[in-house]
A = this chain, B = another copy of it.
């Protein structure tokens, strides 16, 4: 089954989720700089959320560069991945509602991040199953592709670190993203050369 329509659907949902968050940025209460300054936390959270979702979109994009065809299982794995992505603004909003140092919001945030990572890994596995003879998939996200595992272990730890000091979850999760910021250098080099 060709992959284009699933990609387009995923892109549309990512685009909407990223943009929906900007709706939460309401104009400051007055026309003074101080009114803008008082929104700095909301702003910082918007910025972080935008970048986190952009990292995931980037990785999805890179991954599908090497995909040749998909099947119904991939379609569903991708749907569940999108479902977890769609919970991200909710988790972020809870943390952002002055709950940076509350245990429950931080643990929810960490859990959503863990689910996103886990489902990304499942998606990778279903792709290997759907297009097993694709040498690029085998080579680039097959054996030795440990990044998702490392990220998930880190995410799991981050959830429980909230019990020590809540903001640790957000901090560790953000640091873990650095793993993904350069999304699949291997894939990119490969795609660029192969074109």
Contacts and interface: CB of A to CB of B under 8 A. Distances in A.
Interface residues of A, number: 67
Contact of A15 (B12, B72, B192): B12
B105 A22 contact: no
Given A8-B11, A13-B15, A1 B54 contact: no
Contacts of A28: 94, 105
Interface in A88-147: 89-90, 93-94, 96-99, 102-105, 108
Interface of A: 1-2, 5-9, 11-20, 22-23, 25-28, 31-33, 35-36, 47, 50-51, 54, 57-58, 61-62, 64-65, 69, 71-72, 75-76, 79, 83, 86-87, 89-90, 93-94, 96-99, 102-105, 108, 182-183, 185, 188, 191-192, 195
